A and B are shown apart, each in its own frame.
Chain A
Amino acid sequence: MRQNISGIAAKVLFSLFAVAFFSGMTFAETAVRDLEDVRLSIEKSAMPVERKAPLFRKVSNAVSSGIPSPDAAVIVKRGIARGFEARTLEETVDIVIGAREKGLPVRPLLDRLQQGLSKGVPPEKLTAATRRLSEKLGAGDTLISGLSGRGIKVASEGERAAAVYTVARSLEHSIPEEAITSLGLKAVKQGAPLSSFDTALNSMTAFVEMGMPVEQASGLIGKAIDRGYSEKEMVVMEREVSAGLREGRRMEEIMKDMEKMINNGRPREWRGGMEGGSMQKQGSASGMDSGHSHRKGPGPRPK
């Protein structure tokens, strides 16, 4: 089997390399290098010999279907290093290939896999979380298509992919589809672009993640849209809630204040303005020995 996988890989890689060389395409060179890396990792791994060739074939299929080879390589190599079984790795790669075939954005899936593998998430949990995200991306895609059909302006494919992911993330946090659709329809009614809907939903999901009930989060964002808040102003709202919690305030209190502020003015008039707000201090770093952090940025570094 070792000879078999080496033989197949050598022929394919040699031919690819030859084609890549003559065409001078950097991308193909990268793909060749990454696949060679993957092949070596699989060969050196302790997984059963009979599973090695199918796994390599699966990864090759993934790359040929358009999955970026560096991402595929990271997943397989990291998975092997973590002791994942070949079948589990094949399963995870299958989820990504399936999403690609359906025309869904695969970046969030690749990110989740890479992140989970790095963080040492157990195989079953990682597969389940990735599969769940894939399903939600499907639902998100349908929802965004619906909004597109109703005339929401989509500037680019990248913008659409980001919005699909945001919807998927919202659904993962049990935000009802009706609430998301309602927000989308509000954006359509106001002639707002998809990116505005994306930002609004992102902030709403962040509120829910931080512990705000869905109804209140939906209500606050709805009001902000009614008042014509810009995307940046939505982000400021998110920062305000985050900063409030860090200061030790209760969510009910933060929500009341925010509602009052929305009724009275725009985020520019809030404390510190849009660019200030949240770049403040730090508490103890969780899980560390009495440490704390300080982060300068994310603005440009003064030279």
Chain B
Amino acid sequence: MGSHNEILHRLLDGDLSEDEKPALNRLLESDPLVSREYELLLGVVRIVEDAEKAAVPEGFKSSVMRRLQTKKRQPRKRPGDLFFGDGALRWDLVSTLAAAFFLIISVAAFIHMKSDSGPVEKMSASSDVVRTVRISLFAPYAKSVAIAGDFNRWSEDAAMMKNVNGSWTIEVPLKPGVYQYMFVVDGQGWVSDPGAEAYRDDGFGNRNAVMRVNEI
């Protein structure tokens, strides 16, 4: 109905194209409600057109213009006016919350990056160096082997190992530090590296392998 209404208004405003007119005529013939609405609107238009036009008082235009000039916007004096002055950006609740949220996470992220990144255990002092570590598992009957550890958020499929004659190998770029990991065999079996230099309890009764990546 909303679209009929819009078409009727366009017709009365003289904005309807010639192509649209046949369709409207068909609609007016077929739908008595639309036809009635059209008649009512047409009546309103006629009343307005027939109404006596009142003359504008003398000096009205100059009076309006004078008032508009006194309300002229003042130039912004301070940078903060862009956000908080008259005619500044509009701050609704959602925008304000979002901006606050953004600021908080930015600051928190900065703090976080300084104190909370990297492996669970410690990193060495100059942690910008990245070393490539090759890790292998001999598993001739496995269909797939992945390595999951604290360096890849324990993803079961982010680091799939390559099989060469039953020896599954992967090279992982890591910063110096102490890392924990396990192998995921065939997508479900979690296997500790039998050749690891050390192990750590994972808090659930399993043993994670430990590898230390040195700077040199």
A and B: real partners?
Answer: yes
Q: Whole-angstrom distance between the alpha carbons of A283 and B116 in the complex?
A: 36
Min Cβ gap A166→B in Å is 8
Partner of A301, one of B116, B132, B166, B202: B132
CB pair A287–B94 under 8 Å, yes or no, is no
Interface residues on B, range: 35 or more
Most central of B139, B140, B194, B196 by chain A CB within 10 Å = B194
| Interface assignment of B213: CB less than 8 Å from any CB of chain A | yes
Partner of A161, one of B101, B115, B125, B148: B115
CB pair B105–A63 under 8 Å, yes or no, is yes
Min Cβ gap A281→B in Å is 7
Q: Give every chain A residue within 8 A of B109 (Cβ-Cβ).
A: 27, 31, 66, 68
Q: Give every chain A residue within 8 A of B194 (Cβ-Cβ).
A: 282-286, 292-293
Q: Whole-angstrom distance between the alpha carbons of A3 and B141 in the complex?
A: 49
Q: Which residue of the partner chain B has the closest CB to A210? A: B199
Count of chain A to chain B residue pairs whose CB atoms are closer than 8 Å in the complex: 224
Please choose the segment from A12-20, A38-46, A254-262, A263-271 that sits at the chain B interface, where 4 or more of its residues have CB less than 8 A away.
Answer: A12-20
| Interface assignment of A296: CB less than 8 Å from any CB of chain B | yes
Min Cβ gap B145→A in Å is 9
Question: Assuming the A-B contacts A12-B98, A162-B122, are A295 and B136 also in contact, with contact meaning beta carbons closer than 8 angstroms in the complex?
Answer: yes
Partner of B195, one of A12, A162, A295: A295
Q: Which residues of B contact A (CB under 8 A)?
A: 94-95, 97-99, 101-102, 104-106, 108-109, 111-112, 114-118, 120-123, 125, 131-142, 148, 150, 153-156, 166-167, 171, 174, 183, 185, 189-204, 206, 211-214, 216
- Closest 10 A/B residue pairs (Cβ): A66-B108, A15-B98, A162-B122, A289-B141, A291-B139, A282-B195, A157-B115, A278-B197, A118-B154, A293-B137
